[in-house]
């Protein structure tokens, strides 16, 4: 959730919404309302301790965005005895709040901007409150719903000046938030990253491949294959649906997509080289995305068992990416091989 506080009266026609692709932000006289000087961030140490799941969720929320453009000027920590999270005090503070204090929301970002008069107008201060009763443990690649980790990433997007958007986005107006694969599945999506590139520029030019077993049909987020177990026989033709995207600002002319079966659950199964049942060659432009139905044949000699279906992007590690730990995901559908 995003709440903007204005330091003065805003001219009626000067402040409006703007979209670049799907990423959206406010404008002042046609220029984006954003950070024009690198903000210093203050962690509320009373509610976000120095270690543990809440701490790593905090860092992931900020770094998913800031690692792309490197605009945060400092990461500071308030005293552990300071348990209040104040607005309009000159500090950009991030902490946990009682849900009742933020009107029952999962999170709220309070942004303060100046008077839009002549020229551009930037963000003066932004404070983030995350509901303290959320679950902050990492999710696997087909965990459906929202979490404290995805809420941190969502609210960090508002911190950097972005508004709600639809489709494949961490800034969806309401949960559920889609997740990708790998140990840290709460991440940005290509449209979010493209907005970051447009407003602030990337610190380096590289691609970043990421898959998901989730997608958006219409405006409904869902697992692309229904959760559950499908009974199949050896030698039978099957298919599985996956989303793939590139949140980097550089295209990939050729990379490998690999579908494999494993009896090992995630996250351990992400890092295996188990039974490969299909391999595809693919390409993705900068900030491109798509959903694909990938066919394969259940191997004739596969032992009877229940199998997770994994998708690996660039399993050989041939593509130099912004991040290397988000290239695998797992379908919500399992296969039970029993004949």
Q: Is the pLDDT of residue 13 over 50?
A: no
Q: Is the pLDDT of residue 19 over 70?
A: no
Highest mean pLDDT among 138-147, 168-177, 237-246 belongs to 237-246
Give the pLDDT of residue 175: 77
Taking the whole predicted model, whether its pTM rises above 0.85 is answered as yes
Q: Is the peptide bond before 123 cis (omega within 30 degrees of 0)?
A: no
CA dihedral 235, 291, 201, 322 (to 10 degrees): -10
Half-sphere exposure of 315 (CA within 13 A, CB side): 20
219-239 mean pLDDT: 94
* Residue 79 binned pLDDT confidence (cut-offs 50, 70, 90): very high
3-class DSSP string for 131-174: ECCCCCCCCCCCCCCCCHHHHHHHHHHHHCCECCCCCCCCCCCC
* Residue 144 binned pLDDT confidence (cut-offs 50, 70, 90): confident
In degrees and rounded to multiples of 5, residue 38 shows phi and psi of -60, 125
Q: Is the peptide bond before 176 cis (omega within 30 degrees of 0)?
A: yes
188-196 mean pLDDT: 95
14-25 mean pLDDT: 50
Distance between CA 139 and CA 147 in Å, rounded? 8
Q: What percent of the chain has pLDDT over 70?
A: 94
Distance between CA 47 and CA 80 in Å, rounded? 8
Mean pLDDT for the chain overall = 90
| pLDDT tens readout for residues 147-182 | 999 999 999 999 999 999 988 999 988 778 889 988
Q: What percent of the chain has pLDDT over 90?
A: 76
Half-sphere exposure of 263 (CA within 13 A, CB side): 7
Pairing of the two strands 15-20 and 23-28 = antiparallel
Helix axes 53-69, 190-200, angle to 10 degrees: 50
């Amino acid at each position: 959730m995003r709440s903007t506080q204005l330091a003065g009266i805003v001219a009626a026609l000067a402040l409006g919404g703007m979209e670049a692709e799907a990423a959206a932000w406010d404008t002042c006289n046609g220029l984006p309302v954003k950070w024009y000087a690198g903000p210093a961030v203050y962690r509320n140490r009373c509610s976000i301790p120095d270690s543990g799941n809440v701490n790593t969720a905090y860092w992931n929320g900020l770094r998913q965005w800031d690692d792309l453009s490197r605009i945060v000027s400092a990461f500071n920590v308030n005293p552990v005895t300071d348990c209040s999270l104040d607005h309009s005090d000159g500090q950009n503070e991030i902490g946990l709040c009682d849900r009742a204090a933020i009107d029952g929301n999962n999170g709220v970002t309070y942004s303060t901007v100046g008077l839009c008069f002549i020229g551009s107008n930037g963000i003066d201060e932004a404070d983030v409150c995350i509901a303290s009763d959320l679950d902050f443990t990492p999710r696997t690649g087909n965990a459906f719903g929202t979490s404290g980790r995805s809420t941190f990433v969502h609210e960090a997007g508002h911190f950097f000046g972005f508004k709600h958007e639809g489709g494949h986005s961490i800034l969806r107006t309401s949960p559920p938030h889609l997740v990708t694969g790998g140990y840290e599945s709460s991440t940005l999506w290509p449209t979010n990253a493209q907005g970051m590139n447009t407003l602030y520029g990337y610190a380096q030019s590289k691609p970043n491949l990421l898959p998901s077993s989730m997608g958006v049909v219409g405006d409904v987020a869902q697992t692309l294959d229904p959760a559950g177990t499908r009974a199949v026989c050896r030698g039978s033709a099957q298919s599985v649906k996956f989303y793939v995207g590139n949140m980097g600002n550089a295209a990939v002319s050729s990379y490998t997509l690999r579908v494999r079966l494993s009896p090992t659950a995630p996250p351990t199964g992400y890092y295996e080289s188990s039974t490969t049942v299909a391999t595809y060659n693919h390409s993705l432009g900068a900030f491109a995305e798509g959903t694909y139905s990938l066919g394969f044949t259940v191997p004739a000699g596969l032992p009877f068992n229940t199998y997770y279906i994994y998708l690996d992007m660039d399993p050989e590690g041939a593509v130099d990416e912004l991040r290397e730990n988000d290239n695998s995901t797992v379908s919500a559908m399992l296969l039970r091989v029993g004949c």
